[in-house]
Structure 1
């Protein structure tokens, strides 16, 4: 009897790829019940399954530009997601990839590669005909594992694939961010969630957000709440919520949000040396209108710094700073204008994942 663990690894064939795809579809689609385990690995990784020529050519360039671009509002270079290239070479490699959280299978249909064969196996003849005439991006959830996002990207030529990625990139990035927030939220609140603090918010302010296990109230006034999490001696994360009763949604603009945030931070977000938090206008800032939990909203991202007066009373930089994100929106049911703002201070650490945690709390 042959021990499968010692058997030589075989290269992937079109038939093996097709069978793998069909079996996975049956397991995840039977009566709407997903019997597979959760996807594994870091949330911020996207595995790009394509051949080396495509990865090093216009297809790879388009993916890096759309899904792996550097975030301009972080203090040091970090990409939105880490893109990891994997070609399809063996069945063992494919089985490993099927466990991952974010997968992008991409190929030009005119190529005679394993990746192209895989994609052609995944589509019907009618779908292939349509793809050849214009390219396509198909999204599937939970194909092999739960909490998994899988994309199939195809067009006839490499140039057409690149154009397809460029035109669909913002939607792909938004969907990947959404499912990443869902996964991070599960991990953040699976133990130690502070329900008593959430009820305090609801009773006193008529709103609540999920409160992680080691957050405490730093400020809690009539219309302003500041929650902080201090990790070690020099690292912290914080979230504040400010609201205006009977607020006017027409006030929401980039200038108003910027001025309001600086006003609130000077009043409430003060350091222990007499300084206060302020938006660093020397660095890139990003404003955009968004749908925030079904409400018209405004997203503001940038960097904050600690400032204060010197001996002559002139405002100077005190040192310290980090990234922030802020959501301002109007809640029609309550008639309130809300600002929810998350900040990170973590010298010596990457900030992307910490800021994503603040994004998660804001969305609860």
Structure 2
């Protein structure tokens, strides 16, 4: 389990702190700070509920595959504890994010009693009299910096209906919390202000780049730049190109695919005649309209392969319309991390790109 090393470290630190005393011999007691890995969420429910179709519904929506990776990785890393397990172990109360799932018709359930205590009779009565289910958000119940999402229903069918209808908004709420953590970790070493200013002067956009990013290629004639961050485990890359806007037909699936495949020729390996291209045969390329800094854009997600060599990975592309300058800005993020998990790297790239200022 991913939690093991982090738990071990936290246990050691907790033991060290508790062993210390203040000047008058009283053990130090303070509100703990929540901890946990990125995308890790603790599901708290009764054992009987977790052995029912409710658990399958939770997994289906919250542990579905993250789009799009060469090998499946879940949107969230779920770990299940019963309410009794959480109550009995102080460490299990100090994790970062929780989803509490309760059948309010089961009055003998410890989880139901916990939800009743936290939510209060007024909100529960309103939920029962309207939809038969409800969701609420709590903060800092057992530790500072903690997020708790309560999902409850009057009967298991209503609980499943609740998850089906509200999973998207719940995931969005969790992602907002993750964005704060991504920002804190991505820019821990500062920003590459020189490269940011160069990109602003060339492309007229403000992109906040972590200090580790360096310029790989700049092609003035093609109005193209490639910046990258190399670590021991992964290479994270960003392509940026400025394109003249002619008509709305440019904002299409075919256009974003053609731009990316053309720019893929900038990337090659030591083997002759290698270049990067979209692989939408093994996995589909997903395209949808979005907004970037208030501007209409297309988002594309998929996987890439290296033609004539064995390499590949995920990508996310944005084709952004800037009507004030009558131009399109293409920004693409892709990862090469052989044998490594790629979700967290892609989330960081997505965060960097979607916070671009035009």
Shift of 1:332: 3.8
Which structure 1 residue ranges, 5 or more long, are not aligned? 6-34, 308-316
Contact kept? 2:87, 2:93, Cα under 8 Å = no
Q: Between Structure 1 and Structure 2, how many residues are aligned?
A: 320
Equivalent residue runs for 1:111-122 within 5 Å: 111=106, 112-122=108-118
Contact kept? 2:203, 2:242, Cα under 8 Å = no
Contact kept? 2:67, 2:301, Cα under 8 Å = no
Corresponding residue number in structure 1 for 2:189: 191
SS at 1:318 equivalent:
coil
Shift of 1:92: 4.8
Equivalent residue runs for 1:101-140 within 5 Å: 101-111=96-106, 112-133=108-129, 134=131, 135-140=133-138
Q: What's the TM-score, normalizing by structure 2? A: 0.81
1:151 equivalent to 2:146? Answer no
SS at 1:89 equivalent:
helix
Equivalent residue runs for 1:75-86 within 5 Å: 75-86=70-81
Equivalent residue runs for 1:305-316 within 5 Å: 305-307=305-307
- Separation of aligned partners in 2, 1:356 and 1:350: 12
- Separation of aligned partners in 1, 2:77 and 2:157: 23
What RMSD in Å do the two structures reach over aligned CA positions?
A: 2.5
- Separation of aligned partners in 1, 2:235 and 2:353: 16
- Separation of aligned partners in 2, 1:303 and 1:52: 38
Contact kept? 2:86, 2:92, Cα under 8 Å = no
Corresponding residue number in structure 1 for 2:310: 319
The CA deviation string for residues 315-358 of structure 1, in whole angstroms up to 9 with x for no partner, is: xx421111111122223444432222111111111111121121
SS at 1:217 equivalent:
strand
Corresponding residue number in structure 2 for 1:213: 211
After superposition, the Cα gap between the structure-2 partners of 1:291 and 1:206, relative to the gap in structure 1 and judged at 3 Å, is closer
SS at 1:322 equivalent:
strand
Q: 1:174 aligns with which of 157, 167, 172?
A: 172
Shift of 1:260: 1.8
Q: What's the TM-score, normalizing by structure 1? A: 0.80
Q: 1:355 aligns with which of 341, 346, 354?
A: 346
User: Which structure 1 residue ranges, 4+ long, deviate > 6 Å from structure 2?
Assistant: none
Corresponding residue number in structure 1 for 2:18: none
- Separation of aligned partners in 2, 1:37 and 1:207: 41
- Separation of aligned partners in 1, 2:203 and 2:61: 40
Shift of 1:175: 2.5
- Separation of aligned partners in 1, 2:231 and 2:144: 31
The CA deviation string for residues 124-172 of structure 1, in whole angstroms up to 9 with x for no partner, is: 3232122224211223455555554321111101111011001111222
